[in-house]
């Protein structure tokens, strides 16, 4: 695999154990590459980091105002949530306000993430449904767009549906690409998802974090970023990364993780964003590399460094709590001013 370099190394005892490769791009809202590790043009599937951008057609068409969606419900459209009661309640409200039954959701059904994380016991089969799926907020927003525009709800995930064509158009515009430059795949929730160069993903989040300063999507980006920062518990949930990072950012950071090792952090005050991808998809390596990159960029003060230390996990412990190894960042960000390719 070309374009990647070692980001995180682990040792156990005195021996090397794991080496996680990846790439990092930090970009400003003009699209200039501020810093990088590895190939900033590495083609990367965006996975759930895309959700705030997938909401753009709904936001641009005034959907929240039409359906009376609150800031909490706007946050749900950007969420990879735990399926906790607060999440299900907001999704149900979104569906009710659009006049839709939850069975119209085509995201599928899985055991709620809160059970996987050990937040609460797993519910019995039949006690959870599509509303508990971590992507149900995004899908509820998709369906509301269809109602708003008189488009069929049965085929809303078809790549040729008017909704998905609008999503592809606006995602490309936000990332500084043409729609045909987006490589399409299908995400775990059955919705179209797109791969793009890492630098372009960071650029889109630098614009999102810039909110009203963005000349093209300013009002929508401001509403989305405000909702995510105000309600990180809805964007993710108890014991989750996005909740911890946005709280540590104290209102400045707009963050989102995606499956298989991708994360983006945008700084509202700086007008910059960091995008990172771990080649093997390791979550632990992703979180550790993200904290290290934020530290190298100078985004962390002493309190934030301490607050995010559990996500860096520099010491590896046994189940009994004894230190058995180390996890270290082995990269150094390089500065640069390269424009978008």
For residue 198, being part of any structural domain is answered with yes
pLDDT at 179 over 70: yes
- CATH code assigned at 45: 3.40.710
Q: Is 126 exposed, middle or buried (0-12, 13-18, 19+ CB in 10 A)?
A: exposed
CA atoms within 13 A on the CB side of 193: 21
Residue-wise pLDDT for 55-74, tens only, equals 999 999 999 999 999 999 99
Q: Average per-residue pLDDT in the chain?
A: 96
For residue 68, being part of any structural domain is answered with yes
For residue 121, being part of any structural domain is answered with yes
Instruction: Express as a percent the part of the chain with pLDDT over 90.
Output: 92
For residue 48, being part of any structural domain is answered with yes
Residue-wise pLDDT for 244-268, tens only, equals 999 999 999 999 999 999 999 999 9
Q: Which of 202, 290, 201 is nearest to 244 (CA)?
A: 290
For residue 340, being part of any structural domain is answered with no
Measured between alpha carbons, how far is 301 from 12 in angstroms, rounded to an integer? 30
pTM: 0.96
Residue-wise pLDDT for 118-146, tens only, equals 888 888 888 899 999 999 999 999 999 99
Q: Cβ(42)–Cβ(23) under 8 Å?
A: yes
The continuous run of DSSP H or E covering 241 comes out as helix 241-248
The continuous run of DSSP H or E covering 287 comes out as helix 283-297
Q: What is the mean pLDDT of residues 172-195?
A: 98
Q: Which of 20-24, 102-106, 110-114, 168-172 has the lowest mean pLDDT?
A: 110-114
For residue 341, being part of any structural domain is answered with no
For residue 300, being part of any structural domain is answered with yes
What pLDDT does residue 337 have? Answer: 67
Q: Containing domain of residue 305, as a range? A: 5-335
Domains identified in the chain, total number: 1
For residue 11, being part of any structural domain is answered with yes
């Amino acid at each position: 695999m070309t374009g990647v370099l070692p980001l995180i190394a682990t040792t156990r005892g005195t021996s090397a154990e794991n080496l996680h490769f990846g790439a990092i791009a930090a970009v400003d809202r003009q699209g200039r590459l501020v810093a990088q590790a590895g190939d900033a043009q590495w083609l990367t599937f965006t996975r759930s980091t895309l959700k705030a951008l997938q909401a753009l057609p709904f936001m641009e068409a005034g959907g929240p105002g039409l359906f009376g969606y609150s800031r909490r419900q706007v946050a749900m459209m950007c969420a990879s949530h735990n399926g906790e009661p607060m999440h299900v309640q907001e999704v149900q409200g979104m569906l009710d306000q659009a006049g839709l039954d939850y069975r119209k959701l085509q995201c599928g059904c899985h055991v709620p993430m809160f059970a996987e994380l050990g937040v609460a016991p797993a519910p019995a089969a039949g006690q959870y449904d599509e509303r508990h799926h971590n992507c149900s907020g995004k899908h509820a927003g998709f369906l509301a767009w269809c109602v708003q525009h008189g488009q069929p709800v049965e085929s809303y995930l078809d790549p040729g549906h008017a909704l998905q064509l609008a999503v592809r158009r606006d995602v490309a515009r936000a990332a500084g690409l043409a729609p045909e430059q987006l490589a399409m795949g299908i995400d775990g929730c059955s919705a179209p998802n797109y791969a793009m160069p890492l630098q372009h993903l960071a650029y889109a989040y630098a614009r999102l974090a810039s909110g009203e300063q963005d000349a093209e999507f300013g009002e929508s980006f401001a509403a989305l970023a405000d909702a995510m920062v105000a309600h990180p518990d809805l964007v993710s949930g108890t014991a989750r990364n996005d909740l911890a990072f946005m709280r540590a950012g104290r209102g400045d950071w707009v963050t989102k993780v995606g499956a298989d090792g991708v994360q983006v952090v945008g700084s509202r005050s700086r007008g910059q964003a960091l995008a990172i991808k771990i080649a093997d998809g390791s979550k632990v390596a992703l979180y550790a590399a993200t904290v290290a990159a934020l530290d190298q960029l100078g985004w962390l003060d002493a309190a934030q460094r301490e607050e995010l230390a559990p996500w860096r996990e520099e010491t590896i412990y046994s189940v009994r709590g004894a230190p058995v190894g180390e996890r270290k960042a082995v990269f150094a960000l390089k500065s640069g001013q390269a424009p978008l390719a």
